Structure 1
Amino acid sequence: MAKLGIDMDCLKEAFRLDGPVRSRVADVFAKFEQATHAGLHLEKLNNGRDDRIRTIRIDQFWRGVVLAPESGSTYTLLKVLPHDDAYRWAERHRISVNVANGHIEIRDSEAIEAAIPELSREAQETPQRLLEHVSDSVLADLGVDEQTRAFARELTRVEQLEAAKAFLPATQWETLFGLAAGMTPEEVWTDIGGTAEREPYDTEDVAAAVQRTPERVLLVTGPADLMHVFRESFALWRIYLHPVQYQMAHAEFRGSARITGGPGTGKTVAALHRARHLALQSQGQVLLTTFTSTLASALRRDLSSLLASEDELLRVDVHHIDQLAYQVFQERHGRPAILRKDEEAAVWQRVAKRRKAPYTVAFLAEEWRQVVLAQQATSAGAYLAAKRAGRGRRLGPREKARLWEVIWEFEQELRLYGQWTHETICIEATRILNETADKPYGHVIVDEAQDFSPMQWRLVRTAVAEGVNDLFIAGDTHQRIYKYRPSLREVGIDIGGRSARLSLNYRTTAEILAWGLGMLTDGLIDDMNDGVESIAGYRSQVHGKVPILRGFTSRFDELEGLARQVQAWLDAGVEPGEIGVAARSDMLGSNARDLLERQGIAVRVLAQPGPGNRVQVGTMHGMKGLEFRCIAVIGVGENQVPPATAVTPAAEDERAHAYDLQRERCVVFVACTRAREQLYVSWHGMPSTFLSSVL
């Protein structure tokens, strides 16, 4: 029986075709299982570079290009093109098997051959080659074959390599780009989906390579499946997976595992597919959790497009982490009485006054959260021994003892009146689950992991028994926008040898990504596991306009400039709901909404219920996890970003000062990288120091 695979690039292109053409493609291949090689009328090429590439008639105008293996019965649809274009494409291209990972590859051999002489002429005038630091043996080990190596040896500029993306084999291009960007061979090996055990592959067996490349080729199980694929929206049934994403989403892990990567690299996509895989393969209930209710709603929506039935959806619970804590708490104690921020501040103020303690409410509350709760300091002795690195104010033993008395009395007052905060509910839920032999979940998947607190991590750890495929963690410390900096080891989570890093951005243009990364060049960023995270190799394949940077003399002028920019986007055909406006403060965001409304532009508060298809305005923090076609980030001036109140003075604590600056820099980075196509950044007065390296 003949079977059909569909190349993912072909499938994405097919959804740009008119509906009748798509239906005709489906009709032609609907009886593929019963067809024979001859019955399909697959035509050989007279001048083809690969005897296995054939064409097939779709209608009088369109033809399909098909890979017909020399052995086996799995055929792969590579392209659907106009008649002459299909023949030309088929003649130029060749199919190969990557020797390193055994995956199928497609290359434009004619374009590679034509490019080498031109590169060689330019290289004669340049003393240094782009990849001269990499040996031929390393390239060969990473799957770069002879033809691509010949091309690579003539490269002198990264722009030449970027232009070659269109015709080099995809995996080999990824390898070259990673090495050119400063990644080590080991990092590149992981990036292309290489495994610890290197297997020998038959590079002539393309049918086996197709079977090994599920992230590149969709294998259709029957006519009904084929018709469904071509008649449904691409986004509704499948999200494209890079090899590393696919490997992590479908792997069998002996314990907890983690996937990291910059903005737009597909960490959430991998987490969603991991949830789907575990829901279909395991008997245990799956929890998919994240940091906020807004992000949880987005995960729930996307998961529903991946899981085919209501029964499958019921096997995955999607809750934000506080919701999980409330559920566990409420089952034991009933509904909690949660202190509002102003009520909590009043308790701190009252206790500090009784104890005549010279501390501000903000300092007391953060000391309690960042030190006492984060490190489980339940006694004076434990608090005296607790680490306070980065807390700002240095305290001697006598002062810490006095401070502990204030904290102890605050906690006693909460117990006396039966009052709770989000943190203490989380801690109580953790205690309850620790006493429970039967854990509520067989698997837990965490998205946006970089902003979880130590208290939340301990809750996650107790929600699932330690074992095979227990925890799957997705996050990026470059996008950390809150103060907690926990180590996974310190909260009892071991990911040793089970971690992967994504480097290819699917959302943001190369110009926006490069501009944003330019703000992160100062200082080291931890990896949540007692190491340092790297941005080497982060890249985007999509090019667009460079960010627009505008300075103004006053706040009013800046807001007027914002209104002009938003109107220009609207006039260019951008939908209002695809435009976001981010400010560091609620006040500036409110000012922006008021002015836009006065200009006749419909707006609404970011991520809040309201009329659809309006420009969304909110804080930089509120942009977390969202994306827009166009983003305006306003108020990025020296007196607004970073806010003085958010940064510990260097004279008080240099480490805390550095941590705070790094966090605030990440806040701006997160807001800017929500843009898919266009980014606008403005300020009034002098620009923020964060912009000094990118202006």
Structure 2
Amino acid sequence: MANLVIASNTKAMKKLDKSVKEKEWAFIEKLAKDHTAPGLHIEPIQKAVDPRVRTGRVDLHFRAILFKIDAKLGDDPTFIYMGTWPHDEANKLAERSKLRVNPINGVLEGIIGELDGEEDRKKRTVVPDPRGELNRAVTAQRPSYLGATFSLSDLTDRLGLDVDLAERALAAPDEDTVLDIAANAVGWQGSALLDLATGLHIETIREKHGFTDSPVDDTLDEDEQILKALEQPASKMQFTFVEDNEELRRVIEGGDFAAWRTFLHPEQRKYVEQNFNGAFRLSGGAGTGKTVVAIHRARRMAKADPTTRIVLTTYNKTLAADLKAALKTLDPDLPVAERLGEPGVYVDGIDALGYAVLNQTGDIGAAAEAVLGYRTELSHQRTNSDKVWRDVAQSVNSGLDAKLATPGFLENEYVAVILANKVTTLEQYAKVARPGRGVRLTRPQRIAVWKLVEAYRRQSRMDGSLSFPEILALAAEQLHLRVEAGKGFLVDHVLVDEAQDLHATHWTLLRHLVAEGSNDLFIAEDSHQRIYGQPVVLGRLGIKIVGRSRRLTLNYRTTAQNLHFAVSILSGAEYKDLEQGDESTSEYRSARLGPNPTLIECTDPADELDKVAELIKSWIEKDEIDPATIAVLTRGQNDRSQFVRALGERGVEARALDSSPATNGHVQVLTMHRSKGMEFSRVVLAGIDDAHVPSAATMRSVPEEEQPEALLRERSLLYVAASRARDALVVTWSGRKSALLGNSND
């Protein structure tokens, strides 16, 4: 049985239709089983540049291009599958195809025929080919975007870029042209060019891609060097060993859109495979692949030890369902635990996780007494704490200032200070520290707050209800008591996605769920996307990162133009990460180019509805865009419902997207909050006026001291919404444009 390696990012290969893909799959499956089977017609190419190149018969009209690497001592050979082309084209390309180990960095590179040819290169970029005296003279007269920082030898002798690619990059007059060249480069070379465009140092780029100072072992022959080069992190951007037929089928049938399942950036792969001595935090902007890393990491740990107990969790059940689906897509055979604490990967929203802990750990009386000050049982959940806080604020003569006696302030104080510190008496509350709360409280004010807390808890005892934060705090204490009783921790590893939106009792639960130690907590977050609650500092909640923190910067989802627009929304605001460090957007860049975002000012709400409907009709009818890949995002649910009705009245089939999955054949209309974690081909941000964004009602509901924090959340929400678009982004409003859009123009 041959070893099989699949190549990705083969720019020269045309898209195959479904019937050819099925034959392609059958060919590779047979190759993996028996490479000597006569029906495969694996044949060398006369006069080939590389003697390892082979072609194989997919059917009468198509042939595959492969490289055959012979093994030593009778072992099975390795075949590297590069793709499938029409019969005559495949033979012609194979003659000029080659496999080589880059002498500068040790990365394996597969080059298909005319991909490096002069005519093909001219088609792929607007930059003139710099070879030849005439072109060199033209280039010398033009400004160079990279030339002021890098020389040709930097790019070729230190990074290992192809000479012609490096020359074209240095001839590029602006960033967009460099990005265009990078988008058409294969594998690691495109990634390195993106890093160069953002001004990263050569050594930083080498480190990110896993390059070494001794890239080629001269004691090995060429075939052995090739096999060793396959182990390079940057090689795995283009090549991957396929372990079984099902994985192979998924790679072939998934196409480019699903390439993340197998082909990771070296930086991503490092965080998937590396072991850490304690909690680790991976940050990064929207679309940089934090979720992808978390999913791959969960799979890696589960495959390494089938007995290990892993939790993969996130902010809510909808995002958790997406994680579970992605995990099953990545590896359908991966053991998914149905019960918390069982071997395998247990996936659920973090609130449901707290409930599962209480359901599995027995009587909660002792935990309730420690957290709430009275014994109780797990009964029904309170889903509307705002109403209870509003009722007690109106019915209890506490003396608390009206600007503080609001559901928002009281709930945040209750969760971040009282539940997080297991405060059960006024004496404890009067002394407890309140870091990060914004509003300073005098002793009389604390007494007033405590009167309302007592009334809130009294109401809970009367109706037998518990809020989700209370359930989480009880679950954390129950786990703490379990460990004290010698029963050990419930799981071995926890991975958290969208961690920026978790509050104090979430983190307390997670800390008590797993013992401090190797690979205990893997935290994926972006503080720029925090749209719920108050900020927390992990160190104050018993989670010590201590330098184990890194940031991803390459956006795989949206275009460079859309990314620039989204990041500009954050401009001028100061954000802190989960370790209270400054959160920066520097070095964020995109691997893709596209149109500039379009801003449309409307005369009134009716005109806005008309213009959005006309635009979507144009996308569907003229551009032949699948309606299900189009989204209209609104600030609130009322606006969402209005757009669904209005689009339907104007001939556009649309559906509101809430907790249910997307509906095929319909434009998706959803709130900005609901869009978290999602992506669409084309996005309309509707109603981006000064009354909706920031929400006037939201800003009025928070105390003056907390308004700067509330405004940060509003910025973050608009940033999240703007970064959902893969391709086209349109912003509409009537009245006065939102100030959060800054000076953006069409």
For normalisation by structure 2, the TM-score amounts to 0.82
| CA distance, structure 1, for counterparts of residue 139 and residue 427 of structure 2 | 69
Letter of the 2:303 partner, please give it: L
Deviations 1:624-681 (A, max 9, x none): 112222222111012221123334799944xx44433222111111112222222221
- C-alpha distance 473-417 of structure 1, shift in aligned 2 (>3 A): same
Which secondary structure does the structure 2 equivalent of 1:435 belong to? Answer: helix
The match for 1:46 is 47
The answer to whether structure 1 residue 325 and structure 2 residue 354 are counterparts is: yes
Amino acid corresponding to residue 4 of structure 2 in structure 1: L
Contact 1:4 1:76 in 2 (8 A): yes
The answer as to 2:558 corresponding to 1:508 is yes
Q: Secondary structure at the match of 2:566?
A: helix
Residues 532 and 88 of structure 1: CA distance in aligned 2, closer, same or farther (over 3 Å): farther
Deviation at 1:459, TM superposition (A): 0.8
1:407 aligned to 450, 453, 461, which one?
453
Match of 1:247 in 2: 270
Partner-residue secondary structure (3-state), 1:30: helix
Using the TM superposition, name which of 53-62 and 280-289 deviates more.
Answer: 53-62
Amino acid at match of 1:589: R
Q: Report what 1:202 is aligned to.
A: 217
* RMSD of aligned residue pairs (Cα, Å): 3.7
Question: Are the aligned partners of 1:93 and 1:109 in contact in 2 as well (CA < 8 Å)?
Answer: no
Question: Which residue, out of 268, 288, 300, partners 1:277?
Answer: 300
Q: Quick one: distance in 1 between partners of 2:519 and 2:271?
A: 11
* Residue 580 (str. 1) matches residue 580 (str. 2): no
Q: What secondary structure does 1:574 align onto?
A: coil
Q: Which residue of 2 aligns with 1:344?
A: 388
The amino acid that maps onto 1:568 is S
- Matched residue, 2:141: 125
Q: How does 1:25-44 map to 2 (within 5 A)?
A: 26-27=26-27, 30-31=30-31, 34-35=34-35, 41-44=42-45
Q: Secondary structure at the match of 2:495?
A: strand
Query: CA-to-partner distance for each residue in 1:263-290, whole Å, 9 max, x for gaps?
Result: 2222222221222222222222211111
**Alpha-carbon distance change, 390 to 436 in structure 1, aligned in 2, over 3 angstroms:** closer
Q: Quote how far apart the aligned CAs of 1:138 are.
A: 6.9
Q: Does 1:689 align with 2:703?
A: no
Tell me if the contact between 2:272 and 2:297 (Cα under 8 Å) persists in the aligned partners.
Answer: yes
The Cα shift of 1:422 comes to 1.2
How far apart, in 2, do the equivalents of 1:152 and 1:360 lie?
60
Matched, 1:81 2:105: no
Following TM superposition, by how much is the alpha carbon of 1:36 offset from its aligned partner in structure 2, in angstroms? 6.5
Of 335-344 and 660-669, deviating more is: 335-344
Structure 1, residues 136-172: CA drift from partner, whole Å, max 9, x if none? 8876796335736555554442233223226645323
Cα deviation digits, residues 104-135 of structure 1 (max 9, x gap):
23455445798333874444224665153357
One of 314, 334, 359 as aligned partner of 1:290: 314
Shift of 1:99: 6.0
For residues 372 and 100 of structure 1, the distance between their equivalents in structure 2, rounded to whole angstroms, comes to: 58
Whether contact under 8 Å (2:302, 2:334) holds in the other structure is no
Is the Cα–Cα contact under 8 Å of residues 537 and 578 in structure 2 kept in the other structure? yes
Any idea what the Cα deviations from partners look like across 1:318-344, whole Å, max 9, x if unmatched?
A: 110000111222343454333323542
Where does residue 369 of structure 2 map in the other structure?
A: none
Q: CA deviation at 1:183?
A: 3.5
Partner of 1:680: 730
Among 690, 693, 697, which residue is 1:638 paired with? 690
Alpha-carbon separation, structure 2, partners of 1:24 and 1:403? 69
Instruction: Give the secondary structure class of the aligned counterpart of 1:319.
Output: strand
1:268 match? 291
Q: Could you tell me how far 1:59 is from its partner in structure 2?
A: 4.2
- The alpha-carbon distance between structure 1 residues 404 and 138, as it changes in their structure 2 partners (threshold 3 A), is farther
Q: Report the CA distance shift for 1:232/1:444 in structure 2 as closer, same or farther (over 3 A).
A: same
Alignment CA distance shift 1:357-1:476 (3 Å):
closer
Instruction: State the 1:464 CA deviation.
Output: 1.2
Mapped to 2, the partners of 1:383 and 1:190 lie a distance apart of 51
Greater length-normalized contact order (CA 8 Å, ≥ 6 residues apart)? 1
| Alignment match of 1:623 (pick from 665, 671, 675) | 675
Report how many residues are paired: 688
Identify the residue that residue 177 of structure 1 maps to in structure 2: 194
Cα separation, partners in 2 of 1:168 and 1:680, compared to 1, 3 Å: closer
For residues 412 and 610 of structure 1, the distance between their equivalents in structure 2, rounded to whole angstroms, comes to 39
Structure 2 partner of 1:361: 406
C-alpha spacing 1:167/1:626, structure 2 compared with 1 (3 Å): closer
Look up the SS of the partner of 2:632 in the other structure.
strand
Overall identity of the aligned pairs, in %: 30
* Equivalence map 1:512-551=2 (5 Å): 512-551=562-601
Query: Does the alignment pair 1:596 with 2:613?
Result: no
Counterpart in the other structure of 1:440? 490
**Distance of 1:415 and 1:651 partners within structure 2:** 29
* Farther-moved stretch of structure 1 (227-236 vs 71-80): 227-236
Counterpart CA distance in 1 for 2:652 and 2:144 is: 53
> 2-side partners of 1:88 and 1:158: how far apart?
35
Task: Give the whole-Å Cα distance in 1 for the aligned partners of 2:348 and 2:270.
Answer: 25
Which range moves more in the overlay, 142-151 or 667-676? 142-151
Q: Say if 1:346 and 1:646 are closer, same or farther in 2 by CA, change over 3 A.
A: closer
For residues 324 and 101 of structure 1, the distance between their equivalents in structure 2, rounded to whole angstroms, comes to 45
Q: 1:116 aligns with which of 88, 112, 130?
A: 130
**1:305 aligns with one of 320, 329, 338:** 329
**5+ unaligned residues in a row in structure 2: which ranges?**
123-127, 339-343, 365-376
How far residue 259 of structure 1 moved from its aligned partner, in angstroms, is 2.5
SS at match of 2:578: coil
Post-superposition Cα deviations, 1:543-575, rounded to whole Å, max 9, x if no partner, equal 333323211121222122222223333324333
1:429 aligns with 2:475: yes
- Per the alignment, do residues 128 and 207 of structure 1 end up closer, same or farther by CA in structure 2, a change over 3 Å counting? same
Distance, in Å, in 2 between the alignment partners of 1:183 and 1:372 is: 45
Q: Residues 190, 682 of structure 1: CA spacing in aligned structure 2 closer, same or farther, 3 A cutoff?
A: farther
Structure 1 residue 54 displacement after superposition: 4.5
Relative distance call for 1:14 and 1:77 in structure 2 (3 A) is farther
Contact 1:183 1:536 survives alignment (8 Å) = no
Amino acid of the residue matched to residue 319 of structure 1?
A: D
- Residue in 1 that maps onto 2:544: 494
